[in-house]
Structure 1
Amino acid sequence: MSAQPDLLYSEEEEALRAAVRDLLTDHCDPAGVIARTESDTPHDLPLWKTLAGSMGLAGLLVPESLGGQGATHREAAVVLEELGRAVAPVPYLTSAVVATEALLACGADDLLTELASATTVAALAVGLHVSPEGAVPHVRLENGALRGELTGIADAAVADVLLVPADDGGLYAVRTADAAVTVTPQVSLDLTRPVARVRLDGAAGPRLGDAGPAVRRALRSGAGLLASEQLGLADWLLTETVRYLKERKQFNRQVGGFQALKHRLARLWLEVAGLRAAARNAADALVTGADTDVAVAVAQAYAAHVAVRAAEEALQLHGGIGMTWEHPVHLYLKRAKADSIAYGTPGAHREALAEAVDLRAP
């Protein structure tokens, strides 16, 4: 009989949360994030260098023997909760989780050491919308050179290395400094996690291993831990909305005292609590390997709805100020909407769940 999942936070995880939150409070204020989305450099690389280098978070999942922290998905989930709360424009999920998992599957020790030392940012060259069970686009391998185009690659604009699936079944590491690599920004709803088109015109790089299992492992971890980011989004939105409604007055009464609004907030609180359980369960399952596919599918089938609804409720309940560009709630709505189709739609995860538990539709 398998052990019950542990959904509680350990003292170490809470200490990690406090450290990350303090850093983000000091270096990732909403006004600064909004300003970056309106500039040509939406990524906050100074913040990334502090998170990745000074705090060592880039190598959280990398073994200590390779210069990493040797931590687990549970700790990575806590970091993503806090990054979600701040809609931090850093490539943590794409580099420190998804690309790292692909490299771990391939045993690419040299690149893992680079990522852990925070000298390199990597991105898996698979569209952000692709689910763990989805068909993975690939490029052609012709006489040892990679040719083709891939779209919707998250954080490719700041990546030093792209992990590219090819039609021979291999996963190749391509440096973006290669003249045969062109990265072109694409229009994205969520400007805090930009996507780009990657074109390879004869690029070369070492074959790391088989793309199939590496990409699936990477996307499964990405989907499972994305739920923690969505939890962070939803939790911030709920907390901020409650705070605002306690301050705002209408007819000489606190708006938060109106019964109808209390009911809406209570319903949202229950949904966020449910999301916390699903996200924690997914993170724990990624560590233990117990019913991982089921836990990830459950988390992603539920998380998108809660995060989007929390953002929509926050937008409405903030009234006129919520509609302004100066208020950060629009950043959270856009991230929640973008996250709702990242690493697979809720529908795709429900189908995967039905397959996993043998309850397919007739």
Structure 2
Amino acid sequence: MEFIDLKSQYQALRTDIGARMQAVLDHGQYIMGPEVAELEQRLAAFTGARHCITVSSGTEALIISLMALGIKPGDEIITTPFSFIATAEAIVLVGATPVFVDIEPATCNLDPLQIEERISARTRAIMPVSLYGLPADMDEINAIAWRHGLVVIEDAAQSFGATYQGRKSCNLSQIGCTSFFPSKPLGCYGDGGAIFTSDDALAGAMREIRVHGQSRRYVHTRLGVGGRMDTLQCAIVLAKLERFEWELEQRAKVAAAYDALLSGKLGLMARPRARTSAFAQYTVVVDEREQVQARLQEAGIPTAVHYPVPIHVQPAYAHLTDAGRCPVALEKAATVMSLPMGPYLSEQSVHEVATALLTATGMPVPGDCAAPSA
């Protein structure tokens, strides 16, 4: 069993992926070829945002967004300590300071109730992360930002395809950023990402920044980066888009099957009403995690931990904040564990994982957890 089964996805899409890649090889426009504009149009339509700007990675999407906003040294960005390091890394790379706010125990997303006490005269933006595929409480976060004149950047690296109050992730605030890293719900076969906004001026700035600040050939109006997404990677995402809605439905079915087998027995991530998850991960809370992981490994069940060390206590960032802050993040970092998840995970495999997990945690295995007949 694989933690994320990209091989089965490729076999299902092999013909379409091959045709899309061959078209790029035939026309030879490997940088900013026609597939780039096509993908941007398709993704913007999917989310409802006016603009989509494809970029070289999810990290670059965050950096370019901050640069377009004019974030500079001395500015502060409120964010979560419970995320992949790129969230805070992007802030530091533009010279600003991340200010960490603790997370909600039920969702592991940024806790809106603790944001305002951390806002200062230097705060410029709030950067919530839609963790594990579930959007943060964006309406509440947007309301706080509006009261204080701040911008909200949704780090939606894990949540493309998720919804909040019927609106798509990446179109829940002024700016949304996502990643097409291969293991994401919508991934390419290398690095890639995208920025979404309905602000025309911001979109124009972002498009210039991703090509070294160039407004037209050899005219550079601002500081920029080499942040373009390769045409071949855009072609791969275009092929995967044809099956993406179905894959989201299958991910939801896998999560529902896990829920039915594990609810009431282990700690599960909450999914508030009016929000749907893209289920980048299916995450549970367990005690004695290392022992549980070892027992699952013996049973042939792969697991992962997202994330074992919160950002605010990482060596490169610990000087920015009191390490005693964010106790919920510290507690979850020691107890969360992600199970195999994906649209090609069979019902039998879900039952195998649940049975092994309940056995490993010393929980009784009910009759309905027995694997169905193949």
Higher helix share goes to which structure?
1
TM-score bucket of the superposed structures, by smaller chain: under 0.3
User: Could you state the TM-score of these two structures normalised by the residue count of structure 2?
Assistant: 0.24
TM-score when normalising by structure 1: 0.24
RCO comparison, higher one (Cα < 8 Å, 6+): 2
